Amino acid sequence: MYNPECRFSLASGTGLWTSEHLRSTQRVTCLDAAGEMHDVNRGKNGTDRVHYRLEDLFEREPSGEYDLVSTTFWLSHVPTDRLDEFLRDVARSISEGGHFFLVDSQIARTSRARDHEEPGENFGSSRRKFNDGREFDIVKIFHDPDDLTERMANAGLRADVQTSENFFIYGMADLT
């Protein structure tokens, strides 16, 4: 079983996946552009094994030091015109012999709120409705596994991207 010692969680959010990483690794670096996300994450995973970086994912300098780079439910929020650059940065963040893990949403009516609009092919944006009545337009792109695999290959990643039966797109990649 692959058990990387040094993990990098891009757009780490509230810490659900940080908790999973901590079950089997020595160190996790969590990067997010929202300090509020880090605050929630710290509340769940407050340990010296987690390092938090408050940084824009599109402005960071990749370092090549991580055994595993992961993005969970973030890739669908990367604008199409920035995806190739983002994937190249992911590749530059992975150490020799390291991997990239992704999981995200696929188009499925049952995987979103009932009052959210039906997505079209590859969509592009979505209106998020919050319980307090606020609404926000967000980038939301549902990736085709074959297209994503090809784009990852162009970025220097050898990938196996698949879909689950109902809700998810997921994959692992390593450097080519």
pTM: 0.86
Q: Which domain holds residue 159?
A: 6-109+144-175
Residue 156: inside a domain, yes or no?
Answer: yes
Q: What domain count does the chain have?
A: 1
Residue 21: inside a domain, yes or no?
Answer: yes
- The b-or-e profile of 17-54 (16+ CB within 10 A means b, else e) is bbeebbeebebbbbbbeeeebbeebeeebeeeebebee
12: domain CATH number is: 3.40.50.150
Residue 73: inside a domain, yes or no?
Answer: yes
Per-residue pLDDT of the chain (176 residues; tens, 9 = 90+): 455 788 999 999 999 999 999 999 989 999 999 999 999 999 999 899 999 999 999 998 888 889 999 999 999 999 999 999 999 999 999 999 999 999 998 876 655 555 556 555 546 777 778 788 888 888 888 899 999 999 999 999 999 999 998 889 999 999 99
Residue 108 is predicted with a pLDDT of 66
Residue 117: inside a domain, yes or no?
Answer: no
Q: Which token pair is 149?
A: 């695999």
Residue 137: inside a domain, yes or no?
Answer: no
Q: Is the dihedral of CA 14, 17, 20, 25 positive or negative?
A: negative
Residue 125: inside a domain, yes or no?
Answer: no
Residue 114: inside a domain, yes or no?
Answer: no
